Structure 1
Amino acid sequence: MEPSPKRLPTLDEVAERAGVSRTAASRAINNVPHVSRAKREAVARAVRELGYVPNPTARALARSRVGAVVLAVSSDEPGLFADPFFAEITVGVSAALEQTEFELILLLANTARGKERLRQMLRSRRADGVMLMALRGDDPLSRLAEEGELPVVFGGLPLTGEPRWYVDADNRGGGRLAAEHLVRTGRRRPVMVTGHVDTQVAVAREAGFAEGLALAGLPRPAVEPGDFSEEGGAVAMRRLLDAHPDLDAVFVASDGMAVGALRTLRDRGRRVPEDVAVIGFNDLAGARSTHPPLTTVHQPVRALGHEMARMLVGLIEGQQPSPLILPTRLTVRDSAPAASPSGI
């Protein structure tokens, strides 16, 4: 009787011996760049100890390119891609991909079906990489990104944890700039309208604003949450006026919400900037056409999309880029001028 041939070790056994996930083991064996050195060494040791031989067909598939990348957005906003912010992000991403082989796939991943589509895309390698935007709280998209075998770049930091590759704006520094400007122009009772409280963007902008006021000896401001929409800004401004009728300035965590805040102030008979100074955040085109024109923290939104795509392409091509924080600056217009209005 012929002896049965020795059974070859499996990828699952390699992963178990190395103490890593099956996905991490596959990444390391196929020399995919987005694997930590510790995991790569552990897998290499397990391969040697077990005598594992990779399937050449599987390796070829792992290294092949599809020619497409995904911009996945976790948002339930119905008019998301009509939002000037996401329009600018998309323009920046497209510009960076223009001279490459990669096409862009836009994917709304806010529903269970959308998340499942992204999971299948990650597992079946129907794209070469993913950019994730608008994560809130403990978004399962972060875990999906870790489970997949594709490189992932985050547009903005998630609220929990810090991914290996991300592009973000200096949101905390931008909030600090707003506080410093209001203090410099004589405002002493500022308040704030923040965004979704389960987003890192809102948390960082609020922290920076409070920090800037504290450095000037002012107390932590009253804060009312909004939802990054114009109506959300209007409602939050009404609540702040009801609770703090003597307020003399408001920092609003997005230009869209600032438009709503300006509307509420006008409806309540408050003059801007004489009675209340208003500062927004983003500095998109619409900030110039508000009444009065909006002082706002400028973040390079199109550049954010551009750098996300550049970073992802670099990862796909085997580079090891570093995370990137883009600077913010204050654009001063009439809603919070550099010189204090008379009477303040």
Structure 2
Amino acid sequence: MAKRPTIHDVAAAAGVSRGTVSRVLNDDRYVSPASHAAVKRAIAETGYVLNRAARSLVTQRTGSVVMVLSEPQEKLFEDPNYSVLLRTATRRLAERDVSLVMMIAGNDGDRDRVVRYLRGGHADGAFLVSTHAGDKLVDALVDIPVAAVAQGAVIGRENVIPYAAADDREGARQMTRYLVERGRRRIATITGPLDTPGGALRLEGFADILGRKASKKLIEHGDYTQLGGESAMARLLERAPDLDAVFVASDLMAAGALSALRAAGRRVPEDVAVGGFDDSAVALSTHPPLTTIRQPLERVAEETVRLLLALIDGAEHVDPVILPTTLIVREST
């Protein structure tokens, strides 16, 4: 059996000391560009593979982080936003040779497993996605010495868990203002869950523009699923059959709302204008294509990873990042 190449083999091939190779492997900034390039070339030539177990004993790092989705497992496959976040985070972490572990925390048993995993020191940090207000997982994380950031603010913990997010409230204002400017007079909304920042802030943005016209009769709550959007739209039509526009807090729910409107014999946009939020792949697959608010999910994921890596590298504090949204006009309005 061929001998597995060692760090000494890499040093010999690169013409540098073992210490220089070690500094390159540990991303030490105090290595000359020439030595760095020589070591990387020697690693490729020798086929050297880093022994992560040995490295973790020295660096006290595992070389991995956990993405925790606080939703039922089926939502991971239904909502295209999660695949964007997962793909982007995986790519950005790979640039630092950090692996991403995906864990679901949709119920108490799942949450307990996540806490045990993190408490056991199996990851250097946690990337929280779709975290709900009052989530016991967040309370547990405060007591675990592990870096944690969130995609979207954790309601009630905004000053405890750093986050990156789109400007949900301003995005909702943009859509609602646009519907008003299009001459719509009876505008309803389907919210996301109000214990999530997207649900709460998008409702606030809707109310900012409509004021007293944002009556309870024209507000229905959804769950970010297509079926939830369809059911919520049907309830709105029963309660307010004269509505002429609806702002839906996600594209997936808006697709469901379009199905309910078709079933009720309402034309879109002639009878009812429909606006969504996300600009996901769903927005182009609906009939008609969906006017929506684009949130820069790739940038949100990149910024969340940046914040997490900064904390892992020893930063005592990082500031939240809020990114602007864009109105995308298509044929549903």
2:130 counterpart of 1:134: yes
User: What corresponds to 1:11 in structure 2?
Assistant: none
What is the CA-CA distance between 1:324 and the residue it aligns to?
0.6
Residue 191 of structure 2: aligned partner:
194
| Candidates 235, 243, 254, aligned match of 2:231 | 235
User: How far does residue 114 in structure 1 lie from its aligned partner after superposition?
Assistant: 2.0
Alignment of 1:72-87 (within 5 A): 72-87=68-83
Tell me the SS of whatever aligns to 2:189: strand
Alignment of 1:53-132 (within 5 A): 64-132=60-128
Q: How many residues of Structure 1 are paired with residues of Structure 2 in the alignment?
A: 275
Task: Provide structure 1 residue ranges, at least 5 long, that are not aligned to the other structure.
Answer: 1-59, 337-344
Q: Whole-Å Cα distance in 1 between the matches of residues 146 and 114 of structure 2?
A: 11
Q: Please, which moves more after superposition, 165-174 or 301-310?
A: 301-310
Distance in 2 separating the partners of 1:220 and 1:181: 19
Structure 1 residues 205, 79: CA separation in 2 closer, same or farther (over 3 Å shift)?
A: closer
TM-score (normalizing by structure 1): 0.76
Change (3 A) 1:164 1:135: closer
Q: Which moved more, 1:301-310 or 1:322-331?
A: 301-310
Partner of 1:257: 253
Shift of 1:219: 4.5
Q: Deviations over 1:246-291 (max 9, x none)?
A: 1010000100010010111111111111111100010012211211
Residue 240 of structure 1 aligns to which amino acid in structure 2? Answer: L
User: In structure 1, which of residues 329, 333, 338 is the aligned counterpart of residue 330 of structure 2?
Assistant: 333
2:168 is the alignment partner of 1:171 = yes
SS in 2 for 1:292: coil
Distance 2:95 2:209 in 1: 42
Q: In the TM superposition, what whole-angstrom CA distance separates every residue of 1:154-192 from its partner, at most 9, and x where no partner exists?
A: 111122231341111111111111111011110111000
Separation of aligned partners in 2, 1:145 and 1:151: 9
| Superposed displacement of residue 322, structure 1 | 1.5
The separation in 1 between residues aligned to 2:63 and 2:205, in whole angstroms, is 40
Question: Offset of 1:197 from its aligned partner?
Answer: 2.6
Equivalent residue of 1:78, what SS?
A: helix
CA contact (8 A) 1:234 1:257 kept: yes
Whether the 8 Å contact between 2:73 and 2:104 is mirrored in structure 1 is: no
Matching residue within 205, 210, 230 for 2:207: 210
Secondary structure, counterpart of 2:74 in structure 1 = coil
Q: Distance in 2 between matches of 1:287 and 1:93?
A: 23
Q: Does 1:157 align with 2:153?
A: yes
Encode CA deviations 1:284-316: one digit per residue, 9 max, x unaligned.
Answer: 122112111100011011222222112111111
Quick check: 1:308 aligned with 2:304? Answer: yes
Question: Are 1:287 and 1:293, in contact at CA under 8 Å, matched by a contact in 2?
Answer: yes
Aligned partner of 2:271 in structure 1 is 275
Distance 1:67 1:137 in 2: 29
Asked if 2 retains the 8 angstrom alpha-carbon contact of 1:164 and 1:323, the reply is no
CA deviation map 1:50-102 (0-9, x unaligned) = xxxxxxxxxx9796111001101111242424520100110110121121121
The Cα shift of 1:218 comes to: 4.1
Q: Deviations over 1:213-253 (max 9, x none)?
A: 23xx7444611111111111111111111111110100001
Contact 2:152 2:163 in 1 (8 A): yes
Matching residue's letter, 2:319: S
1:232–1:164: structure 2 CA closer, same or farther, 3 Å change rule? closer
Query: How far apart, in 2, do the equivalents of 1:261 and 1:293 lie?
Result: 13
Moved over 6 A (4+): none
Shift of 1:118: 1.8
| CA apart distance, 1:145 | 1.4
Residue 273 of structure 1: SS of its match in structure 2?
A: coil
Unaligned runs of 5+ in 2: 1-55
How much is the aligned-residue C-alpha RMSD, in angstroms? 1.8
Q: Is the Cα–Cα contact under 8 Å of residues 85 and 284 in structure 1 kept in the other structure?
A: yes
Change (3 A) 1:62 1:189: farther
Report the TM-score when normalising by structure 2.
0.79
Alpha-carbon distance in structure 1 between the residues aligned to 2:93 and 2:63: 11
2:243 corresponds in structure 1 to 247
